[in-house]
Structure 1
Amino acid sequence: MLAQRMMWIAWPAFLVAGVLEMLVFAFVDPQDMQWLGQPIELSRQGVYTLSFFVFWVMTTASSALTALLSVSPFELNRSPLVPLNAPTDASSKRRVAIL
């Protein structure tokens, strides 16, 4: 189930990052970009690669937040562990030893 949820988050984020990459660099030339007033020392391909991963991380965070907010309170609060020494019925809730 966890792997399936991770793919629900990662795959749409990957696709949106690819679309963002195409849209941004259709209007922006990587050689004209500056960082803190200095020209970026990366090649065009390096800027494309770095920006794709930045877009992917940002859209993954957005998708993960959406997935987190879509979880019901019952699913979020359930414990996957079986409690140890838990009573099996209502009559054995408390046993008191008398010495």
Structure 2
Amino acid sequence: MMQRLITILWPSFLVAAVADIIFTTLFDPLEILYRGEALIEHRIAAYTIGFFVFWLLGITSSMLTCYFQRSADEINRCPLPPRKRPDSCPKREDESGCY
């Protein structure tokens, strides 16, 4: 579980850092206006918020990649051991040990 979390968070962190550097190089956060007023008053706050927004987008992308990489066996696998499955379950073991 920890490896999957690191696999999601680390690349998204790096992408967020690069995206934040590029975005803040091209745009001055104090010049981004909403209804004629600056959206954020302090540059450092804009840089911080922008970084976390980019990181959230990267996390979402990495999570979707991990989700869609799962095989059919992982998706359809029953979390219960065979003996604890309901009697009506088609994958419950019978006396011979076969499904």
Structure 1 equivalent of residue 29 of structure 2: 30
The structure whose Rg is larger is 1
Q: 1:90 Cα shift? A: 2.9
Q: Residues of 2 paired with 1:64 and 1:17: CA distance?
A: 15
Give yes or no for contact 2:30–2:43 (8 Å, CA) kept in 1: yes
Residue identity (%):
35
Q: Residues of 2 paired with 1:82 and 1:25: CA distance?
A: 53
Q: 1:67 Cα shift? A: 0.9
Letter in 2 for 1:31: L
Structure 2 equivalent of residue 96 of structure 1: none
2:76 aligned with 1:89: no
Q: Give the alignment's TM-score, normalised by structure 2.
A: 0.79
Tell me how many residue pairs correspond in the alignment: 91
SS state at 2:23 partner:
helix
Question: What RMSD over aligned residues (CA atoms) do the two structures have, in Å?
Answer: 2.1
Structure 2 equivalent of residue 44 of structure 1: 43
Q: Residues of 1 paired with 2:28 and 2:56: CA distance?
A: 22
SS state at 1:80 partner:
coil
Letter in 2 for 1:90: S
SS state at 2:53 partner:
helix
Q: Residues of 1 paired with 2:36 and 2:65: CA distance?
A: 36
Structure 2 residues not aligned, in runs of 5+: 86-91
Q: Write the deviation string for residues 27-83 of structure 1: whole angstroms up to 9, x where unpaired.
A: 111111113443124310000000100000011101111111111110122123214
Q: Give the alignment's TM-score, normalised by structure 1.
A: 0.79
